[in-house]
Amino acid sequence: MNGISPELVRHVALLSRLELSEGETCRFGDDLANILDYVAKLNELDTSSIPPTSHSFKMSNVFREDVVQPSLTNPEALANAPDAENDCFKVPAVIQEL
Amino acid sequence: MELYEMTAHELRGKFERRELSSAEVTAAVMKRAADIEPLVRAYVTIAHDEADSAAAEADRALAPGKSAPPLAGIPIAVKDNMCTKGMRTTCSSKILANFVPPYDATVVTRLRGQMAVITGKTNLDEFAMGSSTENSGIHKTFNPWDLERVPGGSSGGSAAAVAAGMAIMATGSDTGGSIRQPASFCGVVGLKPTYGLVSRYGLVAFASSLDQIGPITRDVEDAALLLNAMAGHDPLDTTSAKIMPPDYTTFINRSVKGMRIGLPAEYFGDGQEPEVRAAIDKSVRKLEELGAEPVEVELHHSPYAVAAYYLCATAEASSNLARYDGAQYGMRAEADNVIDMCSRTRARGFGAEVKRRIMLGTYALSAGYYDAYYVKALKARTLIKRDFDRAFEKCDVIASPTSPTAAFKVGEKTDNPLEMYLSDIFTIPVNLAGICAISIPCGFTLQNLPIGLQLIAPAFEEGRLFTISHAFEQATEWHKKRPSVMPSS
Architecture per CATH, domain B3-262+392-480, reads as Alpha-Beta Complex (3.90)
**Whether the Cβ atoms of residue B122 and residue B158 lie closer than 8 Å to each other:** yes
β-pairing, B117-122 vs B189-192, is unpaired
Q: What is the pLDDT of residues B206-220, one digit of tens each?
A: 999 999 999 999 999
- Distance CA(B342)–CA(B441), nearest Å, equals 45
Q: What are phi and psi of B78, to 5 degrees?
A: -115, 130
Q: Which residue of B has its CA nearest to A39?
A: B307
- The pLDDT value recorded for residue B56 is 98
Q: What is the pLDDT of residues B100-149, one digit of tens each?
A: 999 999 999 999 999 999 999 999 999 999 999 999 999 999 999 999 99
Strand ranges across the sheet with B43-46: B43-46, B117-122, B75-79, B169-174, B212-217, B189-192, B436-444, B450-457, B397-401, B260-264, B293-297
Q: What is the mean pLDDT of chain A?
A: 91
Q: Do A96 and B363 touch (CB under 8 A)?
A: no
The partner residue sitting opposite A79, judged by closest CB among B100, B322, B350, is B100
The partner residue sitting opposite B417, judged by closest CB among A35, A45, A62, is A35
**Whether the Cβ atoms of residue B396 and residue B457 lie closer than 8 Å to each other:** yes
- Distance CA(B141)–CA(B408), nearest Å, equals 13
Which residues in B lie closer than 8 A to residue A33 (C-beta atoms)? none
Q: What is the pLDDT of residues B75-96, one digit of tens each?
A: 999 999 999 999 999 999 999 9
Q: What is the pLDDT of residues A51-70, one digit of tens each?
A: 999 888 877 788 889 999 99
What is the ipTM score, two decimals?
Answer: 0.94
Q: Do B377 and A39 touch (CB under 8 A)?
A: yes
Q: Do A32 and B339 touch (CB under 8 A)?
A: no
Select which of B154, B173, B283, B318 is catalytic.
Answer: B154
Select which of B79, B121, B192, B413 is catalytic.
Answer: B79
- Each domain of chain B, given as residue ranges in start order, spans 3-262+392-480, 303-378
DSSP A55-95: SSS----------------HHHHHTT-SSEETTEE--S-SS
Residue B296 has pLDDT above 50, yes or no: yes
- pLDDT-based confidence at B486, cuts 50/70/90? confident
Q: Which residue of A has its CA nearest to B325?
A: A17
Cα of first residue to Cα of last residue in chain B, in angstroms, is 21
Element (H, E) at B216: strand B212-217
Domains of chain A, start order:
6-43 (1.10.20)
Segment among A25-34, B196-205, B261-270, B311-320 with least mean pLDDT: B261-270
Residue B414 makes CB contacts below 8 A (sequence gap 6+) with B132, B134, B420
Q: What is the pLDDT of residues B438-459, one digit of tens each?
A: 999 999 999 999 999 999 999 9
- pLDDT-based confidence at A39, cuts 50/70/90? very high
Shortest Cα distance from B118 to chain A (angstroms)? 23
Q: Do B326 and A79 touch (CB under 8 A)?
A: no
- The pLDDT value recorded for residue A1 is 45
Mean pLDDT of B476-483: 95
Annotated catalytic residue B154: yes
Mutation site for A-interface testing, chosen from B359, B370, B414, B428 by largest number of A Cβ within 10 Å: B359
CA dihedral B306, B308, B310, B313 (to 10 degrees): -120
The proportion of chain B whose per-residue pLDDT surpasses 90, expressed as a percent, equals 94
Give the DSSP letter of residue B138: S
Residue B115 identity (one-letter amino acid): M
